[in-house]
Amino acid sequence: MANVKLKNVVKNYGSLEVVHGINLDVDHNEFVVFVGPSGCGKSTTLRMIAGLEKISGGEISIGDRVVNELPPRARNISMVFQNYALYPHMTVRENLGFTLRIAKKPQSEIDQAVAEASAILSLDPYLDRRPGELSGGQRQRVAMGRAIVRHPDIFLFDEPLSNLDAKLRAQMRVEIKKLHQKVQTTIIYVTHDQVEAMTLADRIVIMRDGYIEQQGTPLEVFEKPVNTFVATFIGSPP
């Protein structure tokens, strides 16, 4: 059974429909990347899966539950945004453990989860620093670490690398791929960057104007684009 299932999912803002009934099955441990031009509905779709936006029609299931009416905290999802906000007055260690402290988990459990996330993301040397003393890439790793400590079933990423320079983006792509191999979770990742999509995805979902134009492995969409939009966007040879 699919881990995340979208059935005819629609989103309107007032009288404007921005997502027009999309269908998608995401498997356990699959790395699915949504890619498409700015404004095509990627973030809206991700936010509906997270429960941050109400859906206007259709159905979203996670595991065997329909989650249409469930608030974000009941969905066992972690989301990493482009403008990740770390708490500036807290150390990296405190930032990593924050959501577990709020959830009143025992200290031993928090320590263990923080140690694990820190090891996965190579944050050990920085645990006692504050975000202001870190580079952009290190801060982004802390943001990912904060998402990991909750052991979510599903990770959602919305353009997590857009604020980083090209070199760092390339490094972070490798980090994210490693992260997926180590933690074995389902990842749904949004980007407008074709290279990022092609290198990270098990399956790539190409969106345009609120529709899914095509989905398939990176090789499939590259070699057999369904139309010129996909071909141009992905950069397939003519």
**Interface with ligand ADP (CB under 6 A), residue from 26, 32, 40, 198:** 40
Strand partners, 77: 154
Residue 41, contacted partner among ligand ADP, Mg ion, none, CB below 5-8 A by kind: ligand ADP
**Interface with Mg ion (CB under 5 A), residue from 3, 43, 185, 191:** 43
**Interface with ligand ADP (CB under 6 A), residue from 8, 23, 39, 73:** 39
**Cβ at position 226, least distance to Mg ion in Å:** 23
User: Which of 29, 27, 23, 1 has its CA nearest to residue 10?
Assistant: 23
Quick note: the x/- pattern for ligand ADP over 43-62, rule CB under 6 A, is xx------------------
Residue whose CB is less far from ligand ADP, 53 or 153: 53
**Cβ at position 119, least distance to Mg ion in Å:** 31
Residue nearest to Mg ion (CB): 43
- For 228, residues 6+ apart whose C-beta sits below 8 A from its C-beta are none
